A and B are shown apart, each in its own frame.
Chain A
Amino acid sequence: MSDRSRDFTVLAVSSGGGHWEELLLLRPAFSGFNLVFATTNAELAERDHIDRFLFLPDANRDEIWRSVLCFFASIRLIMRLRPNVVITTGALPGLFCLIAARLTRAHTVWIDSIANSDKPSLSGRVARPFAHEWFTQWAHLATRSRRYDGALL
């Protein structure tokens, strides 16, 4: 029994808005595991009665400085929590956590937003080499490296 399996932790992370709503639709998949949520809006955690919640500063690709802030906050979050599995629906905050988690040898899962129905998202494409599992929510986008196994809407 390794030390890491005793405190097996799942981190579910996304930015606010649609990405968060999609992450929440996955909630039943996390039941029975030691789970921590992270997002960019604390009120969402309150609205959805999240027990264990960590805050991340918001960022999108139009705001370089906020992205840098978010990147370092994500690294710090991963280093402190040391999750065994990271699941994210995007976008930038999820990408940063996924990359940091992969570097700590956690198992990483990217679920591309259902909004991306004609091509994978930009953050999803960047996440590709860091993700153990990469899901699209559109069957017609499935390839060898992009798995389709259901959709949330």
Chain B
Amino acid sequence: MILLTVGTQLPFDRLVTIVDSLAPSLPERVFAQIGHGHYRPEHMDWCPFVGPIEFERRIEECSYLISHAGVGTLVMAQKHGKPVILFPRRAALKEHRNDHQLATVRGLEGRPGVQIAYDKDDLARFIAQPKPTPERQDILPERDRLRRTVADLIGAEHRRLAGS
């Protein structure tokens, strides 16, 4: 199963429509979480919202994700080692308040397991290719660094209060 998600905040009919038009030619079924979108998919299983527990189960089941460029989906995909094709929302098309999703994907360009699609052609091309393998979760020095920093901050505050 391929998992399509647009997150919980805003509809993203452009992405849902594109994936629905590609769905008949795909070797796998697509399950789409379409949020408040008006477009009703014809070639995919879909529902507006999925609770966090069921959503995680679907991520475990899927072979890869197609998603708006939301951090939540990205973290979950990474956690379960699933490849993800990100499709950023555009402020000019009223798909989000601002273009931070474009900025997000610029920062993620070239990550193993993450592909960035900007239009239907990109998406069709990535879907047809074998998916890249995501990076391993246990070697993320920058993540460890921020965790250490935060842990040290809390520890320092604890010691400060204990000593006062």
Q: Are A18 and B148 in contact, CB atoms less than 8 angstroms apart?
A: no
Chain A residues lying within 8 Å of B145, measured Cβ to Cβ, are 149-150
Q: How far is the CA of A25 from the CA of B79 in the complex (A)?
A: 10
Q: Within residues 128 to 164 of chain B, which ones have a CB less than 8 A from any CB in chain A?
A: 141-151, 153-154, 157-158, 161-162, 164
Contact A2 B161, beta carbon cutoff 8 Å: yes
Instruction: Name the residue among B71, B75, B143, B158 with the largest chain A CB count within 10 angstroms.
Output: B71
- Kindly identify, within residues 51 to 101 of chain A, every residue whose CB is under 8 Å from any CB belonging to chain B: 60, 62, 84-85, 87
The CA-CA distance from A115 to B73 in the complex, in Å, is: 12
B68 to chain A minimum Cβ distance, whole angstroms, is 11
Q: Are A29 and B7 in contact (CB under 8 A)?
A: no
Contact residues in B for A87 (Cβ distance below 8 Å): 150, 154
CB contacts (< 8 Å) of A44 on chain B: these are 52
Please indicate the chain A residues that have their CB under 8 angstroms from the CB of B164 in the complex: 2, 5
In the assembled complex, how far is the CB of residue B36 from the closest CB belonging to chain A, in whole angstroms?
A: 13
Docked-complex contact A153 and B74, CB < 8 angstroms: yes
Q: B161 and A149: CB pair below 8 A?
A: no
The distance in angstroms between the C-alpha atoms of A137 and B153, with both chains bound, is: 17
In the complex, A117 has a CB within 8 A of chain B? yes
* A150-B71 contact given A21-B76, A84-B161, CB 8 Å threshold: no
Whether the Cβ atoms of A115 and B150 lie closer than 8 Å is: no
Q: Which residues of A contact B74 (CB under 8 A)?
A: 18, 153
Which residues of the other chain, A, contact B153 by a CB distance below 8 angstroms? 85, 107, 109, 133
Q: How far is the CB of B137 from chain A (nearest CB, A)?
A: 10
Interface residues of A in 1-47 (CB under 8 A from B): 1-2, 4-5, 8, 10, 16-22, 24-26, 28-31, 33, 41, 43-44, 46-47
Please report B residues at the A interface, Cβ cutoff 8 Å.
7-9, 51-53, 56, 70-76, 78, 97, 100-101, 103-104, 106-108, 141-151, 153-154, 157-158, 161-162, 164
A interface residues (Cβ-Cβ under 8 A, vs B)? 1-2, 4-5, 8, 10, 16-22, 24-26, 28-31, 33, 41, 43-44, 46-47, 60, 62, 84-85, 87, 107, 109, 111, 113-118, 133, 135, 137-138, 149-153
